[in-house]
Each structure stands twice: as C-alpha cells, then as structure tokens.
C-alpha cells in the first residue's frame, strides 16, 4: 500500500511559470546555460547557479547556502507563492510524440525504506551524501522523482475530470513541448487519490534514484514532518517512454575489422547488413556499426542466460563483447566508452564513427517495463546506462518545502 499525500507547494505565479521552469541544469551546454542566465532573470537556473557570474565558484556547503539565499530572494520578490491548503498537482507534458500525465504528490519515505517503492539502479554513497546536504541546507526540493505505477481506474478518472478545467499553467518550451499544470484541492478528489494509491502494491522509480536515496538519508536524521516525504510525479507505467542507450567505443583493442568480427562470431551469429543504417528488432539482437558497415549480432542460444539481469541486451553486450574482447571491464569509469541515448539519430552515431572519434558503435533495443519490474522485484540492478526514460520533468514548477 503506497502512502501518497497532497502538500503545500511553493510554485511560480501564473504569469512567470514559463520563465521559471527549466530543464535540469546538467542538460544545458555551458554556452546555453550562460545565455539562459544572462537573458532570463526568472529562470530557476539562477537558484541552482547563484554564483554563475563570479570568477571563483563556490562548492559544497557554501554553494548550498547561497542557493538557499537566492531561493529566499525569489520568494521575497513575489516570483513564488505558497499554497494555503495541501494540493495534488496534475502535470501534463505533450511533446508531439507522446502525452504524459502524472500526479505530483508527497510520497512517504517509509515506502522507500520498506520496499514498496522499488529501485533498479545502483546509487553512489558520495552523491547520496551530497544531495542529502543540499536538502538539509537549502530546505527545499524542486525536482520531482518520477515514479510509475500500474494502471488505476480511479486515478485516471480524477485526471480526466480535472483536464476539463482551465489549467493553472499552460506554456510551450523551445523543444516544442507543451506543459500544463492543474491544482487538485477538492477534498473528495484528494481522498480518492489517497485511497487509490493506497490500493497500489508497488511504485517503481523511473528517474531519480539518487534523489530518493538522499531524501531517505535525510529522514533518518531529521525530526521535521516534511522530511518524512519526498516530492514525486506518479505516472501510469504504460505512459512511460523507455528509450535505449547505445554504446560507442573508441578502440577495437588492437583487432582489425575482420579479426574483431571473428572474435565476436565465437559467441554471436553475425550477419552483414550493408551500408544502410540498421536498428535491431529481433530477440537478443544487437546492431553493430564498424568500418562503414552495419551488422546484426544475435547471441548463440547455448550462451543465453535466464537470469533477470544477464538476459538483457546491455548485459549480453558487456559479458560477451565489451569485457572479454574490447577490455571494457568497468563501463562506469572507462573513458574509452561513451553512451548515447536513443533520442540521438543513428546518422549522428554513424558520423562519430566515420569521423574517427569512435571505432565501433553498438545499437541496443529499449528494455521493456516488464523487465525493469522483474529486476526491481528481485532486488537487482540494471547495467549502467540501460534506459533513458521520458518524460523529463521541469525544475521549479512545484517546490517541496522540507522546513
């Protein structure tokens, strides 16, 4: 039973929502980030980068303290308001390819601790501690964790009801997405959502493993009521868009083109696919681009493993090619491997190999939600960079106060 509650969000005034909300600052190039900060005085990026114009940048606790001060400055200037009563928030994102709709809410830390909220990625202790310090010092969280849940009729009915009303926010962004936000503050509807989520057995982290883990760390040492919850956006798992991550490797470990193919043929059935871009479609199939040619690689049946992690394409590639043939034994730290989300076109990946930046590329299929749930249910973890999951949420649209 998932414990999900409404909360009093701090959020932009209606006229400034489109100016405040931003992508994760990590997704911007240095040039674009500077342009945003120079030309938009309302962007949430000013709160995350309060010292961007300073010659000497601050870090750690000092950085978090001036982040808090900048946040309080935004509040004093009336850029943000805070709800008088707890609300749920219906968020919709339409990028012309997919429409995503989820409920932004406060989700119980105890559900993360007792396994009702399932995870499928490793978290790094250093990053968890850093995010915990950030939350502790700034006193707010502006990035919802993306959680998925099984389809639920009651939740869908509440969503459809509120979509008929005027949205509190409606704006388009430069990536051609339309964002809408509705307030759900009717007590009957709020109770319907609380009870509907209480009847859901498990929630699954789609994006935000470190944010969840750091909130759980903070809950262990804080006696503030709000610290026992974290902000999340809960979305029907069927609406998630799960995209693949491809692998590009800078070398062939000394093998010529023919020698590399011969090595791979020891474990895979290799078929030449010609010069035209080729994406894998068959079970256990991986696409390889090498020396201006495309190949289909299918692991030999006798080498297939039924383990929930080992049977996935990223593990098949790691266990049978990257580690034993190309000597890529730690994908998280090896500088000879790069990961490209499936949002990048194959033509761009091909060009990087043709230009000599990389020697070989491997194209993988998206991992289905059923496989992610199986891994999480067995308390296992996906290989690094296995999934790129949409929607990607905006920072600063709803802010959860921990104080």
* Extents of the domains making up the chain: 4-241+390-401, 243-387
- Taking residues 352-358, what's their average pLDDT? 97
Q: Does residue 199 have a pLDDT over 80?
A: yes
Q: What is the pLDDT of residue 58?
A: 86
Where are the extended beta strands (E) located within 208-305? 229-236, 241-249, 268-274, 285-290, 293-299
Given the candidates 3.30.70, 2.40.128, 3.30.1760, 1.10.540, the CATH classification of the domain at 243-387 is 3.30.1760
For residues 248 and 341, the answer to whether their CB atoms sit within 8 Å is no
Dump pLDDT digits (tens) for 80-137. Answer: 999 999 999 999 999 988 999 999 999 999 999 999 999 999 898 999 999 999 999 9
Give the phi and the psi of residue 353 in degrees, each rounded to 5.
-75, -45
Q: What is the CA radius of gyration of the chain?
A: 23
Of 111, 86, 104, 183, the closest CA to residue 141 belongs to: 104
Q: pLDDT-derived band of residue 36, with 50, 70 and 90 as boundaries?
A: very high
pTM: 0.94
Report the pLDDT value the prediction gives residue 27, as an integer from 0 to 100: 83
Residue 190 predicted with pLDDT over 80:
yes
Find the mean pLDDT for residues 271-277. 96
Q: How many whole angstroms separate alpha carbon 381 and alpha carbon 377? A: 10
**What confidence category does residue 261 fall into, taking pLDDT thresholds of 50, 70 and 90?**
very high
Q: What is the rounded distance in angstroms from the CA atom of residue 90 to the CA atom of residue 104? A: 6
CB 12 within 8 A of CB 77: no
Q: Residue 212: pLDDT band by 50, 70, 90 thresholds? A: very high
What does the block give as tokens for 3?
């414990």
Mean pLDDT for the chain overall: 95
Which pLDDT score is estimated for 22? Answer: 95
Rounded mean pLDDT, 159-176:
96
Q: Cα separation of 296 and 376, whole Å?
A: 30
Q: Is the pLDDT of residue 55 over 80?
A: no
DSSP string, 162-175: HHTSPPSEEEE-TT
| CA distances for 114 relative to 22, 148, 150, 173, angstroms | 33, 17, 19, 38
> Could you read off the pLDDT of 280-319 as tens digits, one per residue?
999 999 999 999 999 999 999 999 999 999 999 999 999 9
pLDDT of residue 164: 97
pLDDT number for residue 148: 98
Cβ–Cβ under 8 Å, residues 106 and 229: yes
- With the C-alpha atoms ordered 118, 123, 125, 129, is the resulting torsion angle positive or negative? negative
């Amino acid at each position: 039973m998932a414990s999900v509650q409404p909360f009093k969000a701090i959020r932009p005034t209606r006229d400034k929502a489109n100016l405040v909300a931003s992508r994760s600052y990590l997704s911007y190039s240095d040039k674009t980030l500077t342009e945003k900060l120079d030309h938009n005085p309302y962007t949430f990026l000013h709160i995350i980068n309060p010292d961007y114009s300073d010659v000497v940048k601050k870090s750690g606790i000092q950085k978090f303290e001036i982040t808090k001060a900048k946040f309080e400055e935004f509040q004093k200037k009336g850029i943000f308001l805070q709800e008088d009563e707890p609300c749920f928030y219906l968020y919709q994102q339409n990028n012309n390819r997919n429409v995503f709709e989820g409920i932004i809410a406060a989700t119980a830390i105890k559900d993360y601790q007792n396994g009702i909220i399932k995870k499928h990625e490793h978290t790094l202790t250093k990053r968890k501690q850093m995010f915990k310090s950030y939350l502790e010092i700034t006193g707010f969280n502006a990035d919802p964790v993306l959680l998925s849940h099984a389809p639920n009729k009651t939740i869908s009915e509440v969503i459809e009801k509120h979509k008929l009303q005027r949205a509190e926010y409606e704006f388009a962004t430069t990536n051609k997405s339309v964002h809408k936000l509705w307030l759900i503050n009717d007590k009957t509807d709020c109770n319907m959502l609380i009870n509907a989520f209480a009847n859901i057995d498990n929630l699954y982290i789609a994006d935000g493993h470190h944010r969840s883990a750091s909130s759980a760390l903070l809950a262990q040492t804080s006696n503030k009521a709000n610290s026992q919850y974290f902000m999340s956006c809960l979305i029907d798992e069927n609406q998630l868009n799960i995209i693949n991550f491809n692998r590009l490797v800078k070398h062939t470990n000394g093998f010529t083109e023919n020698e590399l193919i011969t090595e791979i043929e020891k474990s895979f059935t290799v078929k030449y696919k010609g010069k035209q871009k080729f994406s894998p479609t068959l079970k256990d199939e991986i696409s390889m681009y090498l020396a201006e040619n495309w190949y289909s690689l299918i692991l030999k049946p006798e080498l297939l493993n039924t383990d929930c992690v080992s049977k996935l394409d990223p593990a098949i590639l790691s266990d049978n090619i990257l580690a034993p043939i190309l000597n890529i034994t730690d994908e998280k730290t090896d500088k000879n491997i790069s990961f490209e989300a499936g949002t990048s076109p194959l033509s761009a990946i091909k060009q990087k190999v043709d230009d000599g930046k990389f020697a070989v590329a491997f194209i993988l299929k998206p991992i289905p939600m059923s496989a992610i749930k199986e891994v999480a249910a067995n308390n296992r973890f996906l290989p690094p960079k296995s999934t790129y999951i949409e929607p990607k949420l905006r920072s600063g649209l709803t802010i959860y106060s921990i104080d």
